[in-house]
């Protein structure tokens, strides 16, 4: 079955650097030997780093050994590891951060939550015109009824602020789309544009978010716990839309620094039906459409944070008029692997809401040599097997 999906009017149908040196590989686990996904892994005292994938694996290119490698993740104590030539591959175990219940650390949880939401919203609004630049990598993969039908990777040079991504230039990319199934033509545009960190004017928003001038009138907030993480006390705040709100809105968690009111993580879950409509598929019923988005923010300066990465997934179960049920799972992972000044010769083109990023990627030549030993790519065993399978079928191609 071929379908075109539209999210709120969005069609859903940087250049990378190959570094020379030594590759340090490994896996990050928690105290119960479970993988820690999307942890930051970097060389201590430098901007050189990467992130673990969804099963906690990482690959980091360094010039020489030994090196001091620092591993950071919200909810865990930081870990500094000295790495020599004999220590590869690494197994890094993170211990959970100290956690206190609100009634132990906070005299008036309700008042503190209100103040933190107001301060965080005001901080974001105050610095919304501050512009950042960086190099980012995006991977999207779609599985329908247990079989992968879509996969693409892309490098971008990005312009952004603390509200959303305002522009980017497409670099090297590759795509593989098998006939049939659903084609998500611009899931990344949803991540970039439709789900901003905060909203100034709720009347124009497709989906409300829990930070902004009207947040306290639209959402209920509850302080769940206090986490001690990387020398900070983070308030973990649960949010959900007020019963009186009829506009689409998510529920989830905010991680906000108690002292500076800087945002460090946002987790949101909502019904994709609030943004989703089907084009070209008649007599189809949506049975399930859970959409989950997690965004992480990293310290930058003057008690501020800036976007580090966003990962999203949607599980869409549809029933056709003939009773046939189709289950589609799409996942997108976007992260900055390097922050930069504004790069000469880059337009940082505006990101329109109706941009068809998959079609742009499929229209570009595929350069196999670029992907052979790329220092940024971090593939789980599942992804690596999938990529090898797609390469063997010669389906990485231009449209």
pLDDT digits (tens, 9 = 90+) for 87-101: 778 899 998 887 766
pLDDT computed for residue 366 by the predictor: 83
Strands 2-7 and 10-11: antiparallel
Asked if 176 and 396 count as a contact pair (C-beta separation under 8 A), the reply is yes
304 pLDDT above the threshold of 80: yes
Asked if 136 and 155 count as a contact pair (C-beta separation under 8 A), the reply is yes
> What residues contact residue 183 under an 8 Å CB cut-off, 6+ apart?
2, 3, 4, 5, 12, 13, 150, 177, 358
Asked if 49 and 68 count as a contact pair (C-beta separation under 8 A), the reply is no
pLDDT computed for residue 75 by the predictor: 83
Task: DSSP letter for 366, please.
Answer: P
Most confident by average pLDDT, 68-77, 98-107, 206-215, 357-366: 206-215
pLDDT computed for residue 4 by the predictor: 41
pLDDT computed for residue 237 by the predictor: 96
367-395 pLDDT, tens digit each: 888 887 776 776 566 677 777 777 666 66
6-49 pLDDT, tens digit each: 444 333 333 333 345 788 888 999 988 988 888 888 888 876 77
pLDDT computed for residue 11 by the predictor: 33
**Nearest CA to 126 among 195, 200, 191?**
200
pLDDT computed for residue 182 by the predictor: 66
pLDDT computed for residue 14 by the predictor: 30
Residue ranges of domains in the chain:
2-13+99-374, 22-94
Tally of CB atoms within 10 A around 35: 16
- State the average pLDDT over residues 304-314: 90
**Nearest CA to 189 among 35, 357, 16?**
357
103 pLDDT above the threshold of 70: no
Asked if 22 and 33 count as a contact pair (C-beta separation under 8 A), the reply is no
Structure tokens at 273: 């039906």
pLDDT computed for residue 253 by the predictor: 96
357-374 pLDDT, tens digit each: 777 887 888 888 888 777
pLDDT computed for residue 17 by the predictor: 37
What Å distances lie between residue 138 and 34, 146, 173, 269, CA to CA?
25, 22, 9, 21
- The CATH H-level superfamily of 22-94 is Carboxypeptidase-like, regulatory domain (2.60.40.1120)
> What residues contact residue 147 under an 8 Å CB cut-off, 6+ apart?
none
> What residues contact residue 298 under an 8 Å CB cut-off, 6+ apart?
40, 305, 306, 307, 308
279 pLDDT above the threshold of 60: no
Exposure string (b/e) for 38-61, b if CB count within 10 Å is 16 or more? bbbbbbeeeebbbbbbbebbbbbb
125 pLDDT above the threshold of 90: yes
What Å distances lie between residue 120 and 112, 126, 236, 328, CA to CA?
12, 10, 13, 36
Tally of CB atoms within 10 A around 307: 25
pLDDT computed for residue 227 by the predictor: 86
Instruction: Give residue for tokens 């865990």.
Output: 76
The pLDDT confidence band at residue 126, using thresholds 50, 70 and 90, is: very high
With pLDDT > 90 as the criterion, what percentage of the chain qualifies?
31
Distance CA 172, CA 191 (A): 20
The pLDDT confidence band at residue 201, using thresholds 50, 70 and 90, is: confident
pLDDT computed for residue 282 by the predictor: 63
Asked if 197 and 26 count as a contact pair (C-beta separation under 8 A), the reply is no
With pLDDT > 70 as the criterion, what percentage of the chain qualifies?
83
76 pLDDT above the threshold of 50: yes
The larger pLDDT score, comparing residue 67 to residue 104, is at 67
- What is the SS3 assignment for 126? helix
Most confident by average pLDDT, 13-27, 210-224, 336-350: 210-224
Q: Among 116-130, 194-208, 385-399, name the one with the lowest average pLDDT.
A: 385-399
Q: What integer best gives the mean pLDDT of the chain? A: 82
Tally of CB atoms within 10 A around 202: 17
The pLDDT confidence band at residue 123, using thresholds 50, 70 and 90, is: very high
Alpha helix locations (H) across 30-161? 102-105, 109-126
239-256 pLDDT, tens digit each: 999 999 999 999 999 999
Structure tokens at 150: 């879509």
């Amino acid at each position: 079955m071929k379908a075109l999906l539209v999210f709120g009017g969005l069609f859903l149908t940087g250049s990378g650097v190959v570094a020379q040196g030594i590759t340090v590989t490994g896996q990050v686990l928690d105290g119960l030997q479970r993988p820690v996904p999307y942890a930051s892994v970097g060389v201590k005292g430098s901007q050189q780093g990467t992130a673990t994938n969804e099963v906690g694996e990482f690959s980091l290119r360094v010039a020489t050994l030994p090196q001091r490698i620092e591993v950071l993740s919200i909810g865990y104590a930081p870990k500094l590891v000295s790495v020599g030539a004999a220590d590869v591959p690494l197994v890094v175990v993170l211990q959970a951060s100290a956690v206190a219940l609100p009634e132990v650390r906070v005299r008036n949880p309700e008042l503190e939550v209100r103040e933190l939401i107001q301060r965080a919203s005001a901080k974001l609004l105050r610095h919304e015109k501050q512009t950042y630049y960086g190099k980012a990598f995006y991977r999207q993969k779609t599985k329908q009824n247990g079989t992968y039908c879509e996969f693409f990777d892309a490098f971008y040079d990005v312009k952004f602020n603390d509200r959303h991504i305002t522009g980017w230039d497409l670099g090297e990319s590759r795509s593989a789309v098998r006939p049939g199934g659903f084609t998500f033509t611009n899931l990344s545009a949803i991540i970039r544009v439709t789900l901003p960190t905060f909203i100034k004017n709720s009347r124009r928003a497709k989906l409300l978010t829990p930070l902004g001038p009207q947040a306290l009138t639209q959402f209920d907030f509850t302080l769940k716990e206090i986490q001690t993480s990387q020398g900070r006390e983070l308030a973990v705040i649960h949010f959900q839309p007020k019963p009186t709100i009829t506009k689409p809105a998510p529920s989830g968690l905010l991680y906000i620094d108690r002292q500076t009111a800087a945002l460090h993580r946002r987790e949101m879950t909502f019904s994709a039906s609030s943004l989703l409509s089907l084009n070209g598929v008649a007599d189809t019923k949506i049975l399930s459409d859970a959409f989950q988005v997690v965004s992480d923010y990293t310290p930058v300066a003057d008690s501020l944070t800036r976007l580090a990465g966003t990962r999203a997934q949607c599980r869409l179960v549809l029933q056709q008029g003939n009773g046939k049920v189709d289950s589609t799972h799409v996942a997108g992972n976007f992260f900055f692997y390097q922050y930069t000044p504004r790069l000469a010769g880059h337009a940082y083109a505006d990101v329109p809401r109706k941009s068809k990023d998959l079609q742009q990627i499929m229209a570009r030549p595929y350069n196999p040599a670029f992907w052979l030993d790329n220092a940024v790519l971090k593939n789980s065993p599942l992804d690596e097997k999938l990529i090898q399978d797609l390469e063997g079928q010669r389906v990485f191609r231009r449209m």
